[in-house]
Amino acid sequence: MPSLPAVMLHGLLKAKMEKINRTILAAGSLEEQVAAYRRELAIEVGKLVLGDYKAREEELGGRPATWILHDAFPDDRATVFLHGGGYVGGSVTYSRNQAYDIAKAAGQKVVSVDYRLAPEYPFPAAVEDILAVWRELLERGYQPDRLTLAGYSAGGGLALAGALAIREQGLPLPGALVGLSPWCDLTLNQITVKANNGKDIMISAEFLEMAARLYAGSQDRTNPLMSPLFGDLAGLPPILLQVAAEEILLGEVIAFADKANKSGVAVSLDIYDGMWHVWQSMDELVPEARNAMERVGTFIRTRGQ
C-alpha cells in the first residue's frame, strides 16, 4: 500500500498534470505544443539548496553541463546524468534537483548534460552528444568502470541507448547504468501504453506520440539507438531499472529487464505500487521516493569497486 503522503500527493499531481496536458495538447501545431511544454517545464524549476555542495558549469563534449560537487566526493568516480522531457524538453536547469539528489545518494560527483533536443535537433543528435561527452571523460582520465550513465524518463532511455552506442563505437562501457522510468520503446506498441493511459498521472500516450514523432522524424523507431529495447543487450554492465506500476512505460521497462536478464546482464528491476512517472524526484515529500533514491545511491556506490 502506498504511504499517506504518496496518496495525498498523487491526487494533487493528477489534477495539476491534467490541466498542464490539456494546455500543451491544445496549443496547436506540434511545434506550438513543444513550445507550451517547454514553458511549463520552465515554470516547474525550483530553487536548488546546495549547502555544502557546489555547482560548477562548464562545457563537456561540446555541450553545456553542470557538475554537482562536494569536497568529500572521490575524484575518480562520477555519474553522467541525463534529464527527461521526451527528447523535446528539459534542461540541466530543469533537472538540477534530480542531479543533486543522485549526488547526495551516491556520494559522488554528478554531471548533468544539456543534450540537444528535437525538433530542432532530431535523432541521432542526442546520442551523438552522449558519445562526445563519454569520449571527453575518458580523455580526462576517468576509468570507464568508475563512471555511471543514469537518467530519468527519456534521459533513462538515452542512458541505455548511449551504452549501446558506446559499445558500437568500440569504446569501453561504463561500470553501471541506471534508468528511472526509462523510455525504452518509441514505437509505443507496448500494451501498457493503452492500458495505463489515463492511469499515468504524469504523461499521456498522446504526448509520447507527439514527442516520438518529432524526435524520430521519418526514421525507423525500432533503431536500438532510439529504442534500446530492440538492441542486442549482451555484454552491457549491471543495470538498475525503476518504474511505477501505473506508468504507461511499465510494459517496455519490464520487457527490457527480461531481455537484459536473458542476455546475461545483471539487471535489477524495482516496480513501485501507487507511484507515478519519475516519482523519485519527490524524495523530500514521499517515503517511497526516498527509498527509491537510497536504492539508486547504493547501486551506484557498489559498482566499480
pLDDT (tens digit per residue) in 111-140: 999 999 999 999 999 999 999 999 999 999
Q: Is 277 a catalytic residue?
A: yes
Q: Are strands 109-113 and 147-152 parallel, antiparallel or unpaired?
A: unpaired
239 forms beta bridges with 177, 267
Structural domain harbouring 93: 4-301
* C-alpha angle 58-63-65 in degrees, rounded to nearest 5: 40
Q: Average pLDDT, whole number, for the chain?
A: 92
Catalytic residue among 128, 204, 252, 277: 277
Looking at the predicted structure, is the pLDDT value of residue 226 above 90?
yes
**DSSP conformation class of 213:** H
Which residue among the candidates 128, 246, 247, 288 is catalytic per the annotation?
Answer: 247
Which of 91, 95, 153, 281 does the annotation list as catalytic? 153
Which residue type, as a one-letter code, is found at position 48?
L
Label residue 47 by pLDDT band (50, 70, 90): very low
User: What band does 110 get if pLDDT is binned at 50, 70 and 90?
Assistant: very high
CATH number, domain with residue 144: 3.40.50.1820
Interhelix angle 205-216/4-25, nearest 10 degrees: 60
Q: What is the pLDDT of residues 183-208, one digit of tens each?
A: 999 999 999 999 999 899 889 999 99
Share of the chain above pLDDT 70, in %: 97
Q: How many angstroms separate the CA atoms of 198 and 23, rounded?
A: 16
Domain count, the chain: 1
pTM: 0.94
Write the CB contacts of 22 (distance below 8 Å, at least 6 apart in sequence).
none
